[in-house]
Structure 1
Amino acid sequence: MMNIDYIKNELEFGKGWVVLNDIDLSCPEDSFIALMKEFGTIMNQNNNGDPISYIQDKGVSTEDVLNKGVVSGDNQGQTNNRPYLTNAELEFHTDLSDLALLLCVQPAREGGENHVVNSKEVYQYMAQYHPEDLAALSGTFKIMHQTPLKPDGQNHLIDIPIFTEKDGFFSSFLLRAFIFITYEKLGLELSEEKRNALNRINQVAEKLCTTLTLQKGDVLILNNHTTYHARNQFNDRDRLLLRGWVCADNNRPLHEDFKSLYGQLDAGSLRGGFVRV
């Protein structure tokens, strides 16, 4: 029997991720919804208000994700061109929620392994071995993204931080590819120093990460404020994971630089996901 309080504590104050086994797959969606409700409030996966995303190769390309999903800005372009609809390798990143849950319904025959790393450990490693890169990551970066400050389902140019601390609580947000495409397509200047520093995060994450091969009935739960996750490429369309986002009951306060991304910053506030339009 799961000790939900222990798991919540591990997610918020421990390493930031856990894997649970033997989730009932007789009706995967029902089991997944019930599990998510144990941890808080389920948030929308898209502007249609869907509580679950189906992570499966639908023939979407990485170029579609960046050009139609990020740069174009309209909500249907985003919904139809998400990274989880590709079979491509996904670099280390965070999702738009306190918690992300990934339930394996059908693993890939080959590939599709997940990688998880504690983002505070990445920060500490960079502080010790690459302080010049860490210094280059101070402040905020521009990104095309939806914002709860303008809840219209469109992408807007907003500012996001990489590493922050608020009242003793560490938080990080990372969408390196989205940052790069925003600066490129909008003709904004991103210094080589900052570009190299963003690349360094990925290099350190690869060095420190844990690799997981989820099997049927396994669910990976991540605290997006304290972990990054990535995925290997896979080569078959049978692979299926369910993804959900949860606003955690015991969520942490966030730095004011997260205002454009999350809107609500206080501990215990309702935040994350996309507005339904």
Structure 2
Amino acid sequence: MTQPPMRTLREPAISGQKVIDPSGWTAQEMERSGDWSLHLSDAEIADFDRAIRGVETQGLDIMDITRENFALPVLGDRLAQVRKLLLDGPGLVLVRGFPVARYSRAQAAAAFFGIGRYLGRALSQNAKGHVLGHVKKLTDVDYNKDPRERGYRTGVMQRFHADSCDIVGLMCLHTARSGGLSSIVSTVTVHNVMLERRPDLVAALAAPLHWDRRGEIPEGKDPWYVTPVFNYHQGYFSCRYARQYIESAQRFDEVPRFTQIQLEALDMMDALLAELHMKTEFQQGDIQFLHNHVTLHGRSAFEDYDEPDRKRHLFRLWLSTDGERPIPPMLAERTAGGVITKGTVLNAPLEAV
């Protein structure tokens, strides 16, 4: 895996001003650049073989995997570069060439979780405590219409959103028969374009908004939480957006109704996401990491194969970098600890449930 060049220019982020950050890119720039796409070498794949054998020899559970017991002497230095690209570069990395078909489900899960330990700490992704998540169609319910459902369990289009973590990782086990294209956008670029066209709407999205927890409620908390879309904290810009979660919070009587300018700002946000994103297509064995505070991602609807063992299936990790990038307390409350509700017990299932 060759070490790519990286842009490094960053200036302190200030409300009402253009954000200067390495994660500010356009789709055209990323499509021309190979900086964010890496390919595993034979020596790096051999690293996985040795590390997976070590996990099996020691009888380790997936959640017991650490950097120390999942040694990657060849790949480890490159993963440090991947982490740098995520936190101080474009905020996305695509790793290609992982031979997922030659490993068992447990072996692939160990490899993916092991990579994650070099980038951050795995978080619970739902009230069931899953630290190894599964993106797979399990229901025909449209999560955009049902606030009790989560998008990763459906085959419908997923609108642009950020997950509740610092870094989200996806490993493609199987692709769909058709559809399932991934879309990624730089929220730094979205912010700056909106600032040029409608600075009043940037100000509206920099004010607090209510978000639906969709039933995954920590003890002692309201069924909603409050955070702006655009955040500026200790010189760093962060964005959090998932319109369906903002809209479904309106179902609670205690939540203030939208103002006209808030609705206009949300509409412009959606329009810019559609205008500025780039599309990528998962291949089997692809591993994608995104920095959630500076990117949003979405997915087109997909059609599955009929055979159960060919259905679209991705592993997912939510990773915390434990405060390495400053984010405001309102945002950290949601993203730093994962989803923990009463009775949540952390576990790493090998099948989608």
Paired amino acid for 2:287: V
Aligned to 1:246: 319
Distance in 2 of aligned mates of 1:193 and 1:132: 9
What does the per-residue CA deviation read over 1:150-186, in whole Å, with 9 as the maximum and x for residues that have no partner?
7339762221111111121111111211111111453
Residue in structure 1 matching 2:83, options 1, 4, 8? 8
Q: Which moved more, 1:205-214 or 1:132-141?
A: 132-141
In terms of Rg, which structure is larger? 2
Aligned to 1:109: 177
Paired amino acid for 2:337: G
Residue in structure 2 matching 1:224, options 287, 292, 298? 292
Aligned to 1:140: 208
* Residues 1:179 and 1:57: Cα distance change in structure 2 (over 3 Å): same
Are residue 29 (structure 1) and residue 96 (structure 2) matched? no
Distance in 2 of aligned mates of 1:134 and 1:33: 37
Residue in structure 1 matching 2:226, options 141, 144, 159? 159
CA contact (8 A) 2:147 2:248 kept: no
Distance in 2 of aligned mates of 1:251 and 1:108: 36
Are residue 261 (structure 1) and residue 334 (structure 2) matched? yes
Distance in 2 of aligned mates of 1:199 and 1:229: 17
Paired amino acid for 2:246: I
CA contact (8 A) 2:231 2:237 kept: yes
* Residues 1:52 and 1:170: Cα distance change in structure 2 (over 3 Å): same
Name the TM-score, length of structure 2 as normaliser.
Answer: 0.67
Structure 1 stretches of 5 or more lacking a match?
A: 70-80, 263-270
CA contact (8 A) 1:55 1:241 kept: yes
Aligned to 2:27: none
Are residue 177 (structure 1) and residue 256 (structure 2) matched? no
Shift of 1:260: 4.2
CA contact (8 A) 2:202 2:230 kept: no
Are residue 82 (structure 1) and residue 155 (structure 2) matched? no
Distance in 1 of aligned mates of 2:233 and 2:147: 34
Distance in 2 of aligned mates of 1:246 and 1:153: 24
Paired amino acid for 1:92: F
Shift of 1:103: 0.8
Are residue 96 (structure 1) and residue 164 (structure 2) matched? yes
SS at match of 1:62: coil
Distance in 1 of aligned mates of 2:205 and 2:333: 18
Shift of 1:197: 0.7
Higher strand share: 1
How high is the sequence identity, in percent, across the aligned residues? 24
Count of residue pairs brought into register by the alignment: 256
Shift of 1:146: 7.7
Q: Which moved more, 1:139-148 or 1:103-112?
A: 139-148
Distance in 2 of aligned mates of 1:250 and 1:139: 23
Structure 2 stretches of 5 or more lacking a match?
A: 1-43, 45-74, 306-310, 346-353
* Residues 1:153 and 1:41: Cα distance change in structure 2 (over 3 Å): farther
Shift of 1:273: 1.4
SS at match of 1:67: coil
Aligned to 1:272: 337
More relative contact order in 1 or in 2 (CA 8 Å, sep 6+)? 1
What does the per-residue CA deviation read over 1:63-91, in whole Å, with 9 as the maximum and x for residues that have no partner?
5x65352xxxxxxxxxxx31111101011
Aligned to 1:19: 94
What does the per-residue CA deviation read over 1:180-227, in whole Å, with 9 as the maximum and x for residues that have no partner?
111145374101221121121121122111100010000110000110
CA contact (8 A) 1:161 1:173 kept: yes
Are residue 119 (structure 1) and residue 192 (structure 2) matched? no
CA contact (8 A) 1:146 1:155 kept: no
SS at match of 1:181: helix
SS at match of 1:205: helix
Aligned to 2:128: 48
Distance in 1 of aligned mates of 2:242 and 2:287: 23
Structure 1 stretches of 4+ with a deviation exceeding 4 A read none
Paired amino acid for 1:109: R
Paired amino acid for 1:191: T
SS at match of 1:88: coil
Distance in 1 of aligned mates of 2:304 and 2:220: 32
